[in-house]
Structure 1
Amino acid sequence: MELTFKVSARIAKPVAEVFEAVANPAELSRYFTTGGAKGRLETGATVTWDFHDFPGAFPVRVVEVVPEKRIVLQWEAGDNDGPDASGSYNTTVTMTFEPLEDGKRTLVSISEEGWRETEAGLKSSYNNCQGWMQMLCALKAYKEYGINLRDGMFK
């Protein structure tokens, strides 16, 4: 069984505004990376993300950015402990941004794939699925209502 998932949400803002909220580290830090983000998401860059619920800043490699359409990232799978661990490896995250209706709404979809088919890989994939859905909920609240859902949630 291939370990992969896809989550989606509709944000009531134009695609350019939603894309910028993800690509711009200052904006991303206002609703998602509770410990801060450093570096703009641009093809070939390696940026740093930090979270209060998963302390310790870590690198995120930006594989591809197509402005207002797609962002592809790679980062460590996070399942390197336990009896079936056999060294670090990366998973791939793909975010897509699609304008809806009259351009006033955006469909954001996030998929992640590449975990090893182990108990640790399965657990890590579930954790990341949860995290990405939470990111989309936080993005929606931030862009539509100016609310940071994650503020104080983990610290």
Structure 2
Amino acid sequence: MSSDIYVEAQMLIRKPVKDVFEAFINPEVTTNFWFTKSTGKLQEGKTVIWEWKMYGAKSEVKVHQIAPNRLIKTEWGDPAVQVDYEFKEMEKGTLVVIKSYGFSQTGEDLLKIINDNTGGFTTVLDGCKAYLEHGINLKLIEDKFPQK
């Protein structure tokens, strides 16, 4: 396992930390910038299913830890990796840092998953910023890999 390798994406979102944190645990908000459906709100010790209908994809998300307005620790993907969402209150808003780690791939496969994770989480943060700051759903996830 490539345990010493991690992917990190970050973005300042000009909203209070409680609003940004809520956007990541509450699917009523998250579906406006990320996945299309969830079986429930993120809660420590629970497992939910996230769905991206436009791609016919689903993922089981295990929630390991929630520290309100500070941290969400999850495990998801295929193969599963650890994904942490960190929230830091700043003068101009909230810094969100998404870290994924615990990759099992090696070589070219590892490079591909690192690229996919970096691009994917950057797109999520961009969409979150547009939605929370301006009320705009840019459909970034839907348009990232348009169907022919």
Give the TM-score normalised by the residue count of structure 2: 0.86
Report the 3-state secondary structure (helix = DSSP H, G, I; strand = E; otherwise coil) of the residue aligned with 1:30: coil
Shift of 1:30: 1.2
Q: Distance in 2 between matches of 1:118 and 1:29?
A: 34
Which has more helix, going by share of residues? 2
| Paired residues of 1:115 and 1:122 also in contact (CA < 8 A) | no
Q: Hey, what's the Cα distance between the residues in 2 that align with 1:137 and 1:56? A: 21
- Per the alignment, residue 140 of structure 1 pairs with 129
* 1:112 lines up with 2:100 in the alignment: yes
1:33-66 per-position Cα deviation (integer Å, ceiling 9, x unaligned)? 1x32221111111111112464222211111111
**Off by >4 Å, runs of 4+ in structure 1:** none
Question: Which residue in the other structure is 1:20 paired with?
Answer: 22
Give CA deviations for 1:63-89 in whole Å, capped at 9, x if unaligned: 11111000011013x3xxxxxxxxxx4
Check the 8 A contact 2:7/2:117 in 1, yes or no: no
CA RMSD of aligned residues (A): 1.8
| In structure 1, C-alpha distance between the alignment counterparts of 2:27 and 2:125, rounded to whole Å | 16
How many residue pairs were aligned?
A: 141
Trace 1:64-103 onto structure 2 (pairs within 5 A).
64-76=65-77, 78=78, 89-101=79-91
Contact 1:72–1:95 at 8 Å: present in 2 too? yes
Instruction: Tell me what 2:5 maps to.
Output: 3
Partner letter of residue 48 of structure 2? Answer: V
- Matched with 2:60 is 59
User: C-alpha distance in 1, partners of 2:111/2:53?
Assistant: 23
More moved, 128-137 vs 145-154: 145-154
Is there any run of 5+ residues in structure 2 with no aligned partner, and where?
none
- Provide the rounded CA distance (Å) in 2 between the counterparts of 1:125 and 1:111: 11
Length-normalised TM-score, structure 1: 0.83
